[in-house]
Amino acid sequence: VATLGLSIAMVETKPLIEFLNKTMPRDNLQRAFALECSLEMYRKLLYREKISLYKADEYATALGRHPIDIWNDWYEITDRDACA
């Protein structure tokens, strides 16, 4: 797959799932609604190891949180991305 020299910074999905497990019932439909994504997309998310910084930010915002509340190393990751 050609990337045209572009790389997309990624974060692990695990912290997001752990955050949801701590803060929400284990209802997939309710979680999908909270993340502002489809049920199908939420189910796919459960099996993904990583998501882009952009999606991570969107998901955190949809939950009414800042990404640092979910990904403890958010600033280190975004600083690395800015320097790359």
Whether the predicted model's global pTM rises above the 0.95 cut: no
* pLDDT at residue 7 tops 80: no
CA pair distance 22, 15, nearest whole angstrom: 11
pLDDT in tens, 15-36: 999 999 999 999 999 999 999 9
In whole angstroms, how far apart are CA 70 and each of 6, 37, 83? 26, 18, 22
CA pair distance 15, 13, nearest whole angstrom: 6
Band (6; pLDDT cuts 50, 70, 90): low
